[in-house]
Amino acid sequence: MTTIDKTPVPVAAALPASERPPQEIKRERARAKRKALGAIPSAILIIGSLYCFIPLFWLVSASTKGRETLFTTNTFIPDGIDGFFRNVAQLGNYQDGAFWTWMGNSVIYAGGGAALSVLVSAAFGYGLAMYEFRGKQVAFGLVLTGMLLPGVVVAIPQYLLMAQLELTNTYFAILFPVMVSPFGMWLCRVFAASSVPRELLDAGRVDGASEFRIFSAIGLRLMAPGLLTVFLLQFVGIWNNFLLPFIMLSDNTKYPLSLGLYSMMRGSDTEEAIIPTLVISGSLVATIPLIIIFIWLQKYMRINFGGGLKG
Amino acid sequence: MSQPVLEQAGPARTRRSLAPGRAPAGPGRPKKGRHRLAPYLFIAPGITLFTLFLLIPIGYSVYLSFFSNKVSSGIIGASERASVFVGFDNFAAILEGSVFWSGLARAGYYGLLVIPITLGLALVFALALDVGVSKLRTVSKTIIFIPYAVPGVIATLMWGYMYHERTSPFGDIFTFFGFPTPDFLGDSLVFYSIVNIAVWGGIGFNMIILHTALSGIPREIYEAARIDGASELRIAIQVKLPLVVPSMIFTLLFGVIGAVQVYAEPQTMKTMSPSITSGWVPLMEIQRLAFEQGETNMAAAGAIIIALIAFGLSLLVFRLAGKKGSGD
């Protein structure tokens, strides 16, 4: 450990005060120390990055391995790009192209579900943040409670409800439940309150715009960066959701990627020699779209929770 | 586009438009009347969906947990299935078995490990990011965030193959140093192997939340401390840390709720490790009861128990937060 000098004052006082004011000496010492300590945060970040990155590098490397080399060579050393394409081609042949169907399904569930839920949440958050009305606290309390609710409590009855409506095994079995996101609704309220000034709404009213027009023209525009965050969170949440599709879907062709890969893994007891290479390369292909979206949208991700609990 | 003209025709409108400035102290009443309905229309879709897909299912869950499907032979001879109120029988039944309890204990221990490690590392990385801006920091922020984008199932499959003796890249490393390769998927280690997957996937999200909170703090606060000669470490602990407590509470809350309902990782790991038994965590047991055993009512009771635990822990966190909040 670097020693942290807590009392620099006596040292500074020992020097002739006329030549160097103690303030300046103190500042200089602090600057020097900061320089020396500056390496520590960088070292921490490098270690963290390695921990997060190495498994992904392994995934890339292992997905280039064929069924022989996967078990015989070190999986940290990639085989070559053609190995990866060979695996992807095999992946495409798995159960008549089931993998790409799953990919398409995931896009529908995550893209469609996130878009719908953002619309619902935006209107809700805006309504809650911009108006005073009877029942406001109740609505806010409901959403807060919903946020704390584990998904499992609703999963079983949701299934029974969907079964009653004969909607299990359809796209709606996933799209309906994911449309309501208490967390998204709550975040939208926070974003609306912090980014849409009420005076602007009054100005719009003076100009004679309808409340809905003010929402769509002013509210949505100002909330846009926040809505992007909600969309991203919802997209990832749905893309990664496992329990809901696991419960709702039994038809292979309706599966999203996570459930598809899981089913592939489950079947691997019988065809052990070939499947691992497919599961590994499938995992990589399934992750790439999300990583691209993330890197692209990351700069918009700003989730501030400070003081967001007040209604 | 004729609408605004029509609205202007109203006397209230005209008066307001003519009034200088916004004049909220003036006759503001007519404005209220005009959009009394608007907020309800805005929240209507959300509330409707909330009711349909959350409230009603919860109510149904509670109902199920207190009833049981009894098959009774009717007078005519044909057997009938009827819902019978059984009080707390379902709760008693699920709590009688040892599986649910051991699952709960495991999930509790899982949370006790995953939450502090994940949040601790997330905080350290967020503080390290906050020291200043550099290329290294921008890149590492992205890299540490990326695992959050990897679905739990896929993260488990990926790590699972890295743990698996036949495909593990670590085997060579252990052999090189003369150690036996540990059996990451065996009885004694598989639990910690799953903890590692959860930590790996969870750091990034929490780091972003905490870093956002940190970057919202005005720089002048640190400058004052720096001029007084405080080290970066002291600034981090004594100035920055207390300021991110509200955000920490939230990450803690999400951590607790996540731990209580851990599911995808162990369920997927079960396909790779025989050490994962059925009902390994509460959710696996609930899922098994509902969809493999047909014990919907018992499963509902289990789900209610999990929800109550989640609520209890959340309240505890809020309580703690309240105490912390009143401190400063």
| Residue recorded with tokens 């190995």 | A83
pLDDT at position A11 is: 41
- Here the tokens at position A55 are 């498994």
Are A183 and A122 in contact by the 8 Å Cβ rule? The answer is no
Are B284 and B263 in contact by the 8 Å Cβ rule? The answer is yes
Q: Chain-wide mean pLDDT for chain A?
A: 82
Q: Give the 3-state secondary structure of residue B82.
A: strand
Choice between A295 and B19, residue whose per-residue pLDDT is larger: A295
- Here the tokens at position A13 are 């006082």
pLDDT at position B18 is: 39
Residue B248, Cα to own-chain centre: how many angstroms? 13
The pLDDT tens digits for A105-162 are 999 999 999 999 999 999 999 999 999 999 999 999 989 888 878 777 788 888 988 8
* DSSP H or E segment with residue B70: strand B67-73
Domains, chain B, in order of start with CATH, read: 1-36 (no CATH), 49-87 (no CATH), 89-327 (1.10.3720.10)
DSSP B81: E
pLDDT at position A7 is: 40
Residue A229, Cα to own-chain centre: how many angstroms? 9
pLDDT at position B4 is: 38
Q: What is the number of CB-based contacts under 8 A between chain A and chain B?
A: 339
Q: At what angle do helices B135-145 and B98-130 cross, to 10 degrees?
A: 170
**For residue B40, which residues of chain A lie inside 8 Å, CB to CB?**
127, 133
User: Which residue in B46, B50, B161 is closest to A62 by CB distance?
Assistant: B161
pLDDT at position B28 is: 40
Contact A23 B127 (CB under 8 A): no
Show the DSSP H helices in A131-171 as ranges.
136-148, 151-164
* Distance in angstroms (rounded) separating the CA atoms of residues B263 and A247: 12
User: Which residue in B4, B61, B146 is closest to A157 by CB distance?
Assistant: B61
Positions of chain B with pLDDT under 50? 1-32, 326-328
* Distance in angstroms (rounded) separating the CA atoms of residues B154 and B163: 14
Contact A160 B129 (CB under 8 A): no
> CA of A146: which chain B residue's CA is closest?
B54
Query: Taking 90 as the threshold, does the pLDDT of residue A289 lie above it?
Result: no
Task: Report the phi/psi class of residue A169: left, alpha or beta, with left for phi > 0 and alpha for psi in -120 to 50.
Answer: left
> Sorting pLDDT into bands at 50, 70 and 90, what band is A72?
confident
Among A84-98, A220-234, B61-75, B113-127, the range with the most confident prediction by mean pLDDT is B113-127
pLDDT > 70 fraction of chain A, expressed in percent and rounded:
81
Query: Taking 90 as the threshold, does the pLDDT of residue A46 lie above it?
Result: yes
Measured between CA atoms, how close is B317 to chain A, in angstroms? 12
Contact B172 A240 (CB under 8 A): no
User: Which residue in B128, B253, B291 is closest to A45 by CB distance?
Assistant: B128
| CATH T-level topology, domain A98-300 | MetI-like fold (1.10.3720)
> CA of B243: which chain A residue's CA is closest?
A306
* Distance in angstroms (rounded) separating the CA atoms of residues A19 and A227: 58
Going from the C-alpha of B211 to that of each of B41, B123, B168, B207, the distances in angstroms are: 36, 8, 34, 6
The pLDDT tens digits for A20-31 are 666 676 666 666
A6, A29, A45: best mutation site toward chain B, by most B Cβ within 10 Å? A45
**For residue A290, which residues of chain B lie inside 8 Å, CB to CB?**
149-151
Size of chain B in residues: 328
DSSP A135: T
> Sorting pLDDT into bands at 50, 70 and 90, what band is A175?
very high
Measured between CA atoms, how close is B141 to chain A, in angstroms? 8
pLDDT at position B23 is: 41
pLDDT at position B6 is: 35
A 101-120 residues inside an 8 A Cβ radius of B: 119-120
Nearest to B296 by CA among B286, B305, B281: B286
User: Which residue in B41, B146, B311 is closest to A291 by CB distance?
Assistant: B146
A 18-77 residues inside an 8 A Cβ radius of B: 23, 26-27, 29-30, 33-34, 37-38, 40-42, 44-46, 48-49, 51-53, 55-56, 58-59, 62, 70-71, 74-76
